[in-house]
A = this chain, B = another copy of it.
Amino acid sequence: MTVYSLVHLRLVWCCWTLPRWQMNGHKRPLAVWTSATAQWTLKQKKPAELYRIPVSRPPILSGTSLLGKGALSTTSISPKEVMLTSERYGVQRLPFSHVSDSDLTFFEHLIPGRVITDPDELRPFNVDWLQSVRGCSKMLLRPRTAAEVSEILRYCNKRKLAVNPQGGNTGLVGGSVPVFDEIIISTALMNQVISFNSVSGILVCQAGCILENLNQYLEELDFIMPLDLGAKGSCHIGGNVATNAGGLRLLRYGSLRGTVLGLEVVLADGSILNCLASLRKDNTGYDLKQLFIGSEGTLGIITAVSILCPRKPKSVNLVFLGSPFYILIETSGSNSAHDEEKLNNFLEHVMASGLVTDGTVATEDKKIKMLWSLRERITEALTHDGCVYKYDLSLPVERLYDLVIDTRARLGKTAKNVVGYGHLGDGNLHLNITAESYSHSLLNAIEPFVYEWTAQYNGSISAEHGLGFKKKHYIQYSKPQEAVLLMQQVKAMLDPKGILNPYKTLPASS
């Protein structure tokens, strides 16, 4: 463990144009501040539970037209009030078949008792976590095995029925819910651990395992998952892989492109692609699994995952530091005395140099969790600030915060807050702009400004959230035309009828 090398650190940079107390000029010592803010955090809720929160805010989006504008998220709206995606964005339904009675009969025979058609039960699966997009699917299927998914897709492909693969439905770009009446294929019942090898640390499990459950399972065996994110209590590992989730451990353990060793995927025509290898090295042909990592369910449905898991660290330290920014630095190692010595050297260095003016160190689990929750729940906290315009950008580290400053200057008083936080070590900025209510002119002031700014510095307009439904039209800011064309060819090759998660990730071929 070293605190100097970014490669060894899980390091998250948090700067939020700060809540009440700072905006009111209450400059308190950091330790006091952190304990004061602990009350402000809410319990993490699964999506289904969120819909039961009573809300008083009126719908703020009815009547607006946002064709081609994807960044808006609306919150504190009950699901009934979320405008249909098709209406809000003026999307045309593609000529897929409609679900018929004979289709229902087929699926009920195939997976009896696991076909949901009740509108009330379907509701939470049609709306995203941010309550910003809504589909009108009339059927949700809950297969338990890859063989069942295979039968489902073979049938859907033949019938030209569109499908929407869905994990924990925690995505932020509208990729995880239907746009129209796509059949939702939930991975929720594919939730079994298949094997774990405590010599190699390789876990093989079904796609519907919840990330937090896997982590708990592993912790008992002295291992941890190589990824961690705020949605861990709900998100499925299959969805994590399908969206190439980043999160809080990326800096320490690398991306899923390195840690995912194998996948089982069902293709659009129902064929099962078994690349569920549990090997660190395998150079036999092209690495097909990489096509599916980050493809957001548009190329196949991931049904099982083989993933390399690190040992549970014996010693963990968390530092929360403040100067112009707040920063969380977590170290993990095998010897607490060594780690503390290194950390103290680092802290002495940054305090002496004036880089850091204040801070607190946590070693006990409870305090570590509390400090992390401050960071992990910013997304949720922002929803209480009104209407949120969300951006997830990769930028050269040295440019990371300039965009916040430039955006703030550009928007002036038309925005309530311009908030920048994210992952310093990864060069990942979460730019959030809040306003009392939605305004078309504000959106026009933000877009394409933010995308152009990002493209100017060769950044990515989606660092870790993906493109989903909301950002597919902005891909050209980060990828050249040749790349987009090639992606469209890949899509056409793997899913010629386009039944898999349509209207997502890529703009339509011209």
Q: How many residues of A contact B (CB 8 A)?
A: 88
Nearest-CB residue, chain B, relative to A505: B285
The A interface, classified by DSSP as helix, strand, loop or mixed, is loop
Q: How far is the CB of A39 from chain B (nearest CB, A)?
A: 33
Nearest-CB residue, chain B, relative to A459: B279
A15 on the B face (CB < 8 A) = no
In angstroms, Cα B427 to Cα A493, docked, is 34
A112 on the B face (CB < 8 A) = no
Q: List residues of A whose CB falls within 8 A of some B CB.
A: 1-2, 4-7, 197, 199-201, 243-244, 246, 250-251, 253-255, 257-259, 271-275, 277-288, 290-291, 293-295, 299, 310-311, 314, 333-335, 338, 341-342, 394, 396-398, 423, 425-428, 458-467, 471, 475, 478-480, 482-484, 486-487, 489-490, 493-494, 505-506
Complex contact A285–B467 (CB within 8 A): yes
> So how many copies of this chain end up in the complex?
2
In angstroms, Cα B459 to Cα A484, docked, is 35
Given contacts A285-B505, A460-B281, contact A427 B200 (CB under 8 A): yes
Given contacts A5-B311, A311-B7, contact A394 B458 (CB under 8 A): no
- Interchain residue pairs with CB less than 8 A apart (30): A1-B1, A2-B314, A4-B334, A5-B310, A200-B397, A243-B283, A244-B283, A254-B254, A258-B259, A279-B394, A279-B427, A279-B458, A279-B459, A280-B394, A280-B427, A281-B423, A282-B394, A282-B462, A283-B460, A284-B467, A284-B479, A286-B294, A286-B487, A287-B293, A287-B294, A290-B290, A290-B291, A291-B291, A335-B341, A338-B338
Complex contact A288–B254 (CB within 8 A): no
Given contacts A280-B250, A290-B287, A299-B286, contact A275 B483 (CB under 8 A): yes
Q: How far is the CB of A371 from chain B (nearest CB, A)?
A: 23
Q: How far is the CB of A341 from chain B (nearest CB, A)?
A: 7
Most buried by B among A250, A286, A335, A478: A286
Q: How far is the CB of A166 from chain B (nearest CB, A)?
A: 18
Most buried by B among A310, A335, A467, A506: A335
Q: How far is the CB of A117 from chain B (nearest CB, A)?
A: 32
Complex contact A460–B277 (CB within 8 A): yes
In angstroms, Cα B5 to Cα A459, docked, is 35
In angstroms, Cα B480 to Cα A39, docked, is 54
- In the A-B complex, the 7 residue pairs with the smallest Cβ-Cβ separation, listed nearest first, are A258-B258, A2-B334, A290-B290, A282-B460, A281-B463, A284-B478, A279-B394
Q: Which residues in B have their C-beta under 8 angstroms from that of A311?
A: 4-7
Q: Which residues in B have their C-beta under 8 angstroms from that of A459?
A: 279
